[in-house]
Amino acid sequence: MREAHPIERTVGMEYYVSDADGVGGHLRASPEDFRVTELEAFETAPVDADTGGYPHVVMRVELRDWDTNDFASALSDRLGISRERVSWAGTKDKRAVTRQLFSVKGIDPDDLPDLDGTDIEVVGRAGRPILFGDLAGNAFEIAVRDTDAPENAAAVVADLRGFAGDAAGADSDLPDEPVTVAVPNYFGQQRFGSRRPVTHEVGLAIAREAWKEAVLAYVGNPHEREPEDTQAARAYVDDTEDWQGALERLPRALGYERSMCHTLVENGAEGPADFREAVETLPSNLQTLFVNAAQSYVFNLICSERLERGLPFDRPVEGDVVCFRDSEAPGDLPLPDTDRTQRVTEKRLRTVERHCERGRAFVTAPLVGTETELADGEPGEIEREVLDEVGIEPGDFDLPGEFDSSGTRRAVQVRTELGVQRDGDALTFEFSLPKGSYATVLLREFRKNDPDA
């Protein structure tokens, strides 16, 4: 089993499942090299529907080189409304061309502004905002350019077919048609911060209700990938905890960090309540993201340990918890329904194996929260060991406000029909993934280099 890149290991992605050498190369040479289209699962009423019953205007927005949060802020600023009135189903990569749904509460569609790098199409109205998860998945078309060894792609495809349960042998050429491949359903690097992966550190501190540690993890805690002036400002915070001095040193672009420092200067930074208030100055979705990142880190570690022990991902072992396929999901995009779970006993093992073979059930691991029930047998042993390692337990997520989480479970493997085309030293990948799964987790198996390259 091949060790992952060092920065991936810091967020719990310890291994690749493909032993073949990587192709190298670069992602996002231009935004057009990374195209994402939401597979929509949100119904709307006509745009002229009664605004009392349908106060949310729903838009399909194409964004070029826009961070989702930044677009929401820019849109709310131009409309003169609270940012909390803007909602969306999934956060997308900035350096990309994305098509996704947004909703805005209580506006006239004619007031929507023109923003550079955007194309806004009003599609209707809704009685509630779009929420995270209100999509079936995403379709991707991604080019990896300037590869060092594009010929290695065929061997990687063969390895990933094997991980999906297909015993097809290696081939020196890429398949002419899309083939079924699989990878561990890791949370990708961007979940934790692509350049500076720290959101899980903030989330773990929040879970321990160590509010000052949470602030220092976010405002301080310099990373070598950041500009030198940013590193120096963060190091100053760690060394002095001088919040006024930090404001004088932190670059203007670090608006969230500066907002936290403003709050601490105003409140005196005298106790845990002041540090908690500083964290709560951030947008509510970012507060939730911190806790989600902590859960994601634990999940990644559990998957890595499962790989290290040689447990299967495509079928259960005794003690596993499986979930069943969402009966309302599109037929060509199997979605796990994590509300329908079953613990695998020795008596039921073969029956559940058959369900997994037919795509009707999925092996899961926990996104730990207050209602998490851990697995039995060796899978449960892994889950408990990882929780001990990071120093948290399910009850720690009984938290105030946006930080509270009851937890859920998540499939440990994700499959897709993958098409790969080669043009010189460039490779183009086409595939679709269910919501919550990361294209970069599939591509890392091919590239095997710095995820920021």
351-381 pLDDT, tens digit each? 999 999 999 999 999 999 999 999 999 999 9
pLDDT for 170 equals 64
Q: How far is 261 from 437, CA to CA, in rounded Å? A: 34
Residue type, 13: M
Q: How far is 116 from 226, CA to CA, in rounded Å? A: 27
- The mean pLDDT value for 141-152 works out to 97
Q: How far is 438 from 431, CA to CA, in rounded Å? A: 11
pLDDT for 168 equals 66
Q: Which of the following CATH numbers is that of domain 199-282: 3.30.1360.40, 3.40.1010.10, 3.30.470.10, 1.10.1510.30?
A: 1.10.1510.30
pLDDT for 215 equals 98
Catalytic positions: 93
Q: Do domains 199-282 and 286-411 have the same CATH topology?
A: no
Q: What is the pLDDT of residues 247-276, one digit of tens each?
A: 999 999 999 999 999 999 999 999 999 999
Domain boundaries, the chain: 2-19+137-185+414-447, 42-133, 199-282, 286-411
Instruction: Give the model's confidence band at 229: pLDDT under 50 very low, under 70 low, under 90 confident, else very high.
Output: very high
Q: What is the pLDDT of residues 394-430, one digit of tens each?
A: 999 999 888 999 999 999 999 999 999 999 999 999 9
Could you please state the CATH topology (level 3) that the domain comprising 42-133 is classified under: Alpha-Beta Plaits (3.30.70)
User: Do 132 and 116 form a contact (C-beta atoms < 8 A)?
Assistant: no
- The mean pLDDT value for 234-248 works out to 97
φ/ψ of residue 123, rounded to 5: -115, -10
CA atoms within 13 A on the CB side of 129: 16
- CA torsion angle for 173, 174, 175, 180 (degrees, to 10)? 130
Instruction: Considering the domain delimited by 286-411, tell me its CATH architecture.
Output: 2-Layer Sandwich (3.30)
Please say if the pLDDT value at position 172 is more than 80. Answer: no
Nearest to 282 by CA among 315, 255, 252, 305: 255
pLDDT for 329 equals 75
Please say if the pLDDT value at position 331 is more than 90. Answer: no
| Strand ranges in 20-134 using DSSP code E only, listed in sequence order | 26-27, 34-40, 56-64, 86-88, 97-105, 118-126
> pTM for the whole thing?
0.92
Q: How far is 216 from 226, CA to CA, in rounded Å? A: 16
Instruction: Give the model's confidence band at 173: pLDDT under 50 very low, under 70 low, under 90 confident, else very high.
Output: confident
User: Do 246 and 237 form a contact (C-beta atoms < 8 A)?
Assistant: yes
Nearest to 61 by CA among 114, 33, 102, 108: 102
